[in-house]
Amino acid sequence: MQPELLFSMKGAKQTIGDTTCSGKANQMEIPLLAKVYLPTEGKIKPHLFAEPALGILLSAQAVSDPGGETDVKQYVKSTDIGFLAGVGVEYKMDSGSVLFDVRYEVGLTTIDKGDGEAEDVKNNVISFMAGYGFAF
């Protein structure tokens, strides 16, 4: 098990006629990885993982062309629950390890707050991660 704390920037773009509108959201994500290492010899350790993930909304904007940027945080739910799965590789060193992951997250709950007429809007994200793990 590997708990994490991540800052995530998410967005979407839609064109209707002559108007293009983009949505941007910043979230603090708290995933809890269940990681399985594949058996290998040497310093390179491939792994698979899956996890539930909780996203906490920090900000949300809609950007239209023309029109500018509008704060839409009041229309977006403050939490987002998703499921994340991925693959990665870890290179072990004496003082720690270098990590590379590819992740896909699918939203399980709608993020649209909608007053009675909520759209079924869910986050779907592909992400790439590089990191360094300290040896304890």
- pLDDT score, position 108: 93
Q: Whole-model pTM above 0.75? A: yes
Mean model confidence pLDDT for the chain: 88
Q: How sure is the predictor about 61, in pLDDT bands with cuts at 50, 70 and 90?
A: very high
pLDDT reported for residue 2? 80
Mean pLDDT of 35-51: 94
Taking residues 56-67, report their average pLDDT. 84
pLDDT of residue 124 exceeding 80, the answer is yes
Residue 67: pLDDT over 70: no
120-127 CB contacts, 8 Å cutoff, 24+ apart? 123/10, 123/55, 123/80, 123/82, 125/8, 125/10, 126/102, 127/8, 127/102, 127/103
**CATH for the stretch 2-134:** 2.40.160
Q: How far apart are CA 69 and CA 92, in angstroms?
A: 45
The tens digit of pLDDT for each residue in 6-31 reads: 899 888 777 777 777 788 899 999 98
* Spans of all domains in the chain: 2-134
* pLDDT (average), residues 104-117: 84
